[in-house]
Amino acid sequence: MRKTLAIIMAVVILAVFVVPSRRVDAVVSIDVYLESNTGSVNLGDILEVRVMAGRMPNILSFNNVKLDYDPVSLIFMSAEASTDLPDTFSVSVNNDDNLGEVSISGSDQTAEDYINEHFNAEDGEEDEDFEDPSFSSSGPTCLCTLRFRVKTSAFSTLNFTFGEGIEFINSNEETVEGKGDSTFVMDVTSDVSKNAALYSIKINNSPVADFKSDSYDYMYSVNKDTGKIQIDCEPGNLFAQYEVSDTDLKFGDNNITIDVTAQDGVTKTQYRIVVNRPSQVSSGTAAFFDSKDKLFTFVSRPDDVNIPSGFTETTMTINGYEVPCFVSDGLTQVLIYVLDEEGNTDFRVYNPKSNKVTNYSAENSIFLRSSLFTVKNLPKGVTAPKGFMSVKVWIEGREYKGFVNASGTVIFYLEIENGSKGFYEYHQDTQSFSKYEGDDNKTDKIYNVLFHICLIIAIVEALLIIIIVYVVRRFRKERVNPRPRRV
């Protein structure tokens, strides 16, 4: 009899240690509560709270985690899955602004699929190499982080309450009850905020990757065709002010700063973004310095940029490079498509003889008798000559803004190739320009000529009077005092 009992006991012990089984901690309930790094917040601040679970015994999923908040005092902003959970754990958060309720759920589908693949539910047996992949922790675990904006009309305290019915599912498909902490209270102060941090930065409506409020240096890249970016920021406190430096981009690295000033007007921070715009100029690319020592680099003309009317494409040698250019019959100057030192690409007028580069505008550039004239707007303080009114003038099939008077004289305010500006008269019969003198200038010239003539006459008369006086005095002297004669 004793021998039989011994055999039975041995079999039971062997079955316990040899037969595979899935061990799951026997947990009656899991505490769910909130944590925050701060005990109070200011009006306009962003409040960050973490949804915590006391422990996670072989948990595959959780659901029905509902957190109530006061929508009169708070605006829900965002939620972020916790790094405490494995990457395979997917957490979703839904918010209802009207009810002031956030619903949180999560599941580890990868672990669940593994268990279903390696565990036979019919006979309750597992593969020999089976290891339970469900998540376990013996200490507090963050399920997700929630962020709220404190409204400027918020009350003195913020209250959060968990709803009932929180459930956790373990790897044995057993439901473990979650007990939510009854109320979490946060004090709201009306102190002047010293928060000069940013909550987020967006470039061209896209968030800056890996942004952190306490990290101040970032790198960003754009394509070579992006000449300007838009930067939008959300401050950590609504009363903070920020200012973004110039966002126009040159080729290469562009240092852009964002200066933030807190509500107190004293606390300040600066975020720095290095935006790289790759150059379309490569090593060995044709380039030259013009007569003013400005660098111009030849670049390919985009397909959507048309050759100006009246010009045809050819090539010429500039600075030892055979480069494309655009010529027109009878013109010494040629058009070239280049990149300047500021990173702008466009057609420019190039004079091969003087090595001079001039801006080109299809609307304002006039080519006459191998000379370039550019129509300019009147500078501040400069007005059209008296009697002239604005008019549109057609020259060689194009319309330009000029001025005309009652006698039909047409003038333009032009910039010529040497850079000087002024009013020039347009001669329709000869298709040419000449410096406009004006009626006032002509009168001044007449008076000037008359003045010089009178001045010359006066000088001549003065000289004649001097000569006559000298001769008379000498004659009288000889008569009064005759020379003695010799005997």
CATH code of the domain covering residue 258: 2.60.40
Q: Using 50, 70 and 90 to split pLDDT, how confident is the model at 4?
A: low
Say whether 140 sits in a helix, a strand or coil. Answer: coil
CA dihedral 153→157→158→162, nearest 10 degrees, is: -150
- 85 and 36 assigned to the same domain: yes
- 50 and 114 assigned to the same domain: yes
- 153 and 40 assigned to the same domain: yes
Higher-scoring residue by pLDDT: 11, 115: 115
pLDDT at 371: 65
- 264 and 215 assigned to the same domain: yes
- The answer to whether residue 31 is domain-embedded is yes
Structure tokens at 332: 């010494």
345 CB neighbour count, 10 Å cutoff: 19
- 343 and 400 assigned to the same domain: no
- 36 and 171 assigned to the same domain: yes
Domain that includes residue 229, residue range: 198-277
Higher-scoring residue by pLDDT: 246, 360: 246
Highest mean pLDDT of the ranges 34-43, 284-293, 319-328, 435-444: 34-43
Structure tokens at 284: 């060995």
Q: What is the pLDDT of residues 35-66, one digit of tens each?
A: 999 989 999 999 999 999 998 999 999 999 99
- The answer to whether residue 63 is domain-embedded is yes
468: enclosing H helix or E strand: helix 438-480
Q: 484 — alpha (psi -120 to 50), left (phi > 0) or beta?
A: beta
Cβ atoms of 40 and 188 closer than 8 Å: yes
Count Cα atoms within 13 angstroms, Cβ side, for 410.
Answer: 15
Last residue of a domain, one of 233, 259, 277: 277
- 123 and 48 assigned to the same domain: yes
Q: How far apart are CA 417 and CA 414, in angstroms?
A: 10
Q: How far apart are CA 387 and CA 74, in angstroms?
A: 68
- 32 and 144 assigned to the same domain: yes
- 167 and 66 assigned to the same domain: yes
Q: What is the mean pLDDT of the chain?
A: 83
Last residue of a domain, one of 217, 252, 277: 277
- The answer to whether residue 4 is domain-embedded is no
- 86 and 58 assigned to the same domain: yes
- Report the pLDDT averaged over residues 237-252: 91
Instruction: Please report, for residues 199, 316, 387, 388, the alpha-carbon distance to residue 383 in angstroms, rounded to integers and kept in the order given.
Output: 52, 42, 11, 10
Q: What is the pLDDT of residues 129-181, one digit of tens each?
A: 678 889 999 899 999 999 999 999 898 999 999 999 999 999 888 999 999 98
Number of separate domains in the chain: 5
Q: What share of the chain is helix, strand, coil (3-state, %, to 5)?
A: 15, 45, 40
Last residue of a domain, one of 360, 388, 421: 360
pLDDT at 318: 82
Q: Using 50, 70 and 90 to split pLDDT, how confident is the model at 241?
A: very high
- The answer to whether residue 487 is domain-embedded is no
- The answer to whether residue 306 is domain-embedded is yes
Q: What is the pLDDT of residues 74-129, one digit of tens each?
A: 999 999 988 999 999 999 999 999 999 999 999 999 999 888 887 654 555 555 66
- The answer to whether residue 62 is domain-embedded is yes
Q: What is the pLDDT of residues 248-267, one digit of tens each?
A: 988 778 999 999 999 999 99
- The answer to whether residue 6 is domain-embedded is no
Q: For residue 137, what are the β-bridge partners?
A: 56
Please state the φ and ψ torsions of residue 36, each to the nearest 5 degrees: -150, 150
Instruction: Please report, for residues 83, 438, 439, 444, the alpha-carbon distance to residue 450 in angstroms, rounded to integers and kept in the order given.
Output: 96, 19, 17, 10
Q: What percent of the chain has pLDDT over 70?
A: 83
Say whether 113 sits in a helix, a strand or coil. Answer: helix
- 183 and 295 assigned to the same domain: no
- The answer to whether residue 448 is domain-embedded is yes
Closest by Cα among 4, 155, 138, 3 to 69:
155
Cβ atoms of 47 and 36 closer than 8 Å: yes
- 91 and 175 assigned to the same domain: yes
